[in-house]
Amino acid sequence: MKVVICLKQIPDPAITEFDLKNEKMKSELWILNPADFQALEEGLRLKNKYGAEVTVVSVAPERGDEILNKALRYGADRAIRAWKTPLIEADTWMISSILKQVIEEIGFDLVLCGNRSKSTSSEFMGVALSERLKVPVLTGVVGFEVHGEKEGLVHKKLERGKRETYSFQFPAVLTVDEGINEPRYVALFSRAYNEGTRKKVESKELGLDDIDLSPAIELFRISQPKPRTKVGTKISGLSVGSLMKVLRGETGSKKELFSGPATKGAQKIAAKLKEWYL
Amino acid sequence: MEMNVIERSVFWLLLAIALGISSHRIYILFRLIKMGKETERFDHLGTRAKSVLVYVLGQWSNLKNISFGDLAGFGHLFIFFGVIVFSINYIIFLFIGEGLGISETMRNSVFSHYFLYLSDIAGLLLLIAIASAAVRRGILKPARLGPNFDSGVFFALALSIFLLFTCYFTLQGLRINLETNVFRTPVAGFFADFFHRIKLADQSQATLFKIIWWAQYGLILGFLVYAPYSHHQHPMFSPFNIFFRSFRPTGSIEPINFDKGEPLGVSRVEDFTWKQLLEGFACTHCGRCQDSCPAYLTEKPLSPKMLILDINRHLLDVGSRRHSAEQARGPVIPEEITKGILSCTTCGACVEVCPVFNRALDNIIELRRNLVYEGIYDHGHRVALQRTFDYNNPYALTGSSRNTLLTVLGIDKAIEGERYDVIYWLGCSAYFDERSQDIARAVLKILKRADLKVAALGEREHCCGDFVRRLGDEGLFQRLVHENMEAIKGLDFDVVLTHCPHGYNTLKNEYPVFGADFTVVHHTEFIFDLLSKGKIQVDKAMKEIIYHDPCYLGRYNNVYDPPREVLNRISGKVREFPFYRNKSFCCGAGGGHMWKHEERGRRINDERIEQAIETGVKTVATSCPFCLAMLEDALLMKGLVAEMKIRDIAELVQEALC
């Protein structure tokens, strides 16, 4: 069984800032997209269970070696990085055409992608790949099982914890939802780590002619997040009386207490309601 | 009664056979121990010899653990001296005297008079000790002797010791009657009178003497052969174990040199050092470690005693198989032996009480290192390690939020070129946990009162690596060490102050191996210093306080007195837990337990807080943010938050400032 996993290197969302003038993201720290990490974990589980051959692929400049090396250290068998300089502004559709070439060259039974990236979040890569590769696609997978050599079952999430289950035949593209698993941890100098460092990332230079260089979308604008509307009450500086009101939850609309027997109380409430709404 | 030539030949032949069997066995055990890795244990010969004098001959290893509830150490003292005296007795009178046919000369000197008298007393005391051991095992049945206690073997042994001494005293009595012994000793005299009274003829007495003499000899040879095959090998191995003991402080860890290659940690017996393999033979099965282990006492699947003994049993298995098949690497230590190692809180109580200086804790760390090497984790541990790997702390705090906290606490961020009195190592818990921030606030107030210039590292401070190392992830630990040392390197300061004993222990004891050369103080020491120098003054007005010793401050660093001194200055009544100082009971957070996912059995912090509740004191003082969190958590579970308070010493001092 040959499993290909597409990895994307994204700027670390925790420290990334937007450069609004040049409409670009600034980041010094590039990390592996979390959903892709989980796709990798699924692939590695297939490797542990069925002896699948796991290849990771990324379209990235040289800095991409970092995540590919990481994937090797986590247990991937092969890592391929494809790149050509004009791709710096490429959109998902263009990248998918490169991935298609690489994946077809390796040969595959399953292609696993993360459902979405934390940087562009287009959720389109899996679908684009299935179009390019002419194989079925299942998106948002929260669990899957493989039966035999050629088929499997896929679970997708519906609202309120409901699940859909599809059966599918190899070859196929699956995009996994974040939360499908918890990726393993590979410690420095552990067995897997040492084996991974002995493997090398294969880099692939592409001829420009091979690439479908027509972007399907265009980035229009990056804007600052809108300021949030403020909720809550400022309590410093309030008098004790009003502070107690806040603490008892008596702010906002007016409240009134009616006492007496139930029938009397109900009559009073009814009268009050009439007074307010009529 | 001298033996004739035939008897004497039989005598020496039997001894040769017995010695042959037992020395063959000891040789096999020696070969097994030699399977272990090298470790330097021939340094400090003077100190080593002194430990043998104090702990073996002086029996301090047993006496140090004696309490009102546990008097077994006295029993061992009597047995020990009895055995020593009788070994000498048998060598002088039996082997040299009777074996060489010079019995009369040997027995009738002034020295023998005193020595036989001493033997009588030693023998009596030994019999009393054996009898009380039998009562202890048969009736009292203390939990620490389980679960590997074999009553059949014990009672057979106790009976044969009893028989041996009956033989000895009868023989001595008969010797008086047959006039081969000039001196009369009390117990022997009693037996002599007995035979007189029943009017046994001299001839029958002589025959009886022969029979009993050979029975006694048989028993002695029996012991010689039996001992190295049983747990009574410990008298042979324990003195060596004490001689070769480790002088490193409790819980300190040997760094891994990654250039030396794989695999890391211990997965097979030959990965242990020879000293660690020796420990299994030296173990006395006393179970004191198990009896003080917080994990074992709260029904976790860990017993330090059984870990050491199971590894030893596995070693014997491997050894017996090795003779047939010569493999490059022996079999992996089975999982049922190592299943409990993640339950260890690394509190070090087992190391502290062990009479023969065994270090189950060191074995556990080595075994954990191999789990990390093979990629086997507890879920909670894995998450904490992953976060530490990605964010440099187990709480996944970002660097900017660390800086923000410095502003919130009103503390400067340390910059190069500036002179500081104190660099305050806040620790990850203070950056994350609001309760720990209270401790930091209190410490800062005290520092301000003492007029000291203080700064913290903010985003440059990473996890100190304590829990990382104790979970066995040495690679990540060493990365954190170098990052932290880089952060501290350019700064100009007097001391690094920390309120967390885990950070304190790691920075103070473990960083110097990697080249750190700064002074580290714990805030209890620091506050004590400020108080004694008069830089801050406090009122002595607090009510009763009970102090909980954090393991990493007490057992790991022997800081027992400064916190108590500080508390004595703010309160007239400082009480103690039933388990305190070096016997302190863990709060349950150490060794990565703070992040452990699921645990069976009772909770360790509940156990500790119950001990506090029983004393009736309303304020529990401690000096560790993790102890604080664990104990408060336990209070919350018990619904006693309104009645009792857990406070850090710094908070109490800050309240008492005047």
Task: Please give the residue of chain A at the shortest CA–CA distance from B263.
Answer: A191
Check CB contact of B395 with chain A, cutoff 8 Å: no
Q: Do B374 and A191 touch (CB under 8 A)?
A: yes
Most A CBs within 10 A among B259, B369, B404, B473, hence the mutation to make, goes to B473
pLDDT in tens, B77-132: 999 999 999 999 999 888 888 888 888 788 888 888 888 889 999 999 999 999 99
Half-sphere exposure of B488 (CA within 13 A, CB side): 26
Q: Do A194 and B474 touch (CB under 8 A)?
A: no
Q: Do B473 and A188 touch (CB under 8 A)?
A: yes
- In eight-state DSSP terms, residue B232 is G
pLDDT, residue B441, reads 93
Distance from CA of A49 to the nearest CA of B (A): 16
Domain boundaries for CATH 3.40.50.620 within chain A: 2-210
Rounded mean pLDDT, A219-233? 72
Peptide bond between residue A136 and the one before it cis (omega within 30 degrees of 0) = no
Distance from CA of B385 to the nearest CA of A (A): 8
Most A CBs within 10 A among B260, B332, B368, B373, hence the mutation to make, goes to B373
Check CB contact of B475 with chain A, cutoff 8 Å: yes
State the CATH class of domain A2-210: alpha beta
pLDDT in tens, B563-582: 999 999 998 889 999 888 88
| 3-state DSSP assignment of residue B419 | strand
Q: Which of B262, B386, B398 sits opposite A185 (nearest CB)?
A: B386
The amino acid at residue A73 is R
Distance from CA of A183 to the nearest CA of B (A): 9
Is it the case that residue A176 has pLDDT exceeding 90? yes
For B44, other C-beta atoms within 10 Å of its C-beta total 11
Residues A2/A55, Cβ–Cβ less than 8 Å: yes
| 3-state DSSP assignment of residue B325 | coil
Rounded mean pLDDT, A27-41? 89
Check CB contact of B492 with chain A, cutoff 8 Å: no
Check CB contact of B383 with chain A, cutoff 8 Å: yes
Task: Give B384's contacts in chain A (Cβ within 8 Å).
Answer: none
Q: Do B479 and A182 touch (CB under 8 A)?
A: no
- Quick one: CA dihedral B206, B207, B213, B214, positive or negative? positive
DSSP chain A: -EEEEE--EEE-TTT-EEETTTTEEE-S-EEE-HHHHHHHHHHHHHHHHH--EEEEEEE--GGGHHHHHHHHHHT-SEEEEEE-GGGGG--HHHHHHHHHHHHHHH--SEEEEES--SSS----HHHHHHHHHT--EEEEEEEEEEETTTEEEEEEE-GGG-EEEEEEESSEEEEEPTTS-------TTSHHHHHHHHS--EEEE--GGGS----S-------PPPPPPP-S---TT--HHHHHHHHTT--SS------S-HHHHHHHHHHHHHHHH-
Is the pTM here over 0.80, yes or no?
yes
Task: Please give the residue of chain A at the shortest CA–CA distance from B369.
Answer: A190
Check CB contact of A17 with chain B, cutoff 8 Å: no
Rounded mean pLDDT, B308-328? 77
Peptide bond between residue B355 and the one before it cis (omega within 30 degrees of 0) = no
ipTM for the complex shown: 0.82
For A75, other C-beta atoms within 10 Å of its C-beta total 21
Rounded mean pLDDT, A142-170? 88
Q: Do A190 and B475 touch (CB under 8 A)?
A: yes
Q: How far is CA A21 from CA A146, A178, A195, B42, B251, in A?
A: 49, 32, 45, 70, 56
For B374, other C-beta atoms within 10 Å of its C-beta total 17
Q: Do A182 and B373 touch (CB under 8 A)?
A: no
Distance from CA of A12 to the nearest CA of B (A): 11
pLDDT level of residue B397 (50, 70, 90 thresholds): confident
pLDDT, residue A233, reads 67
Task: Give B389's contacts in chain A (Cβ within 8 Å).
Answer: 185
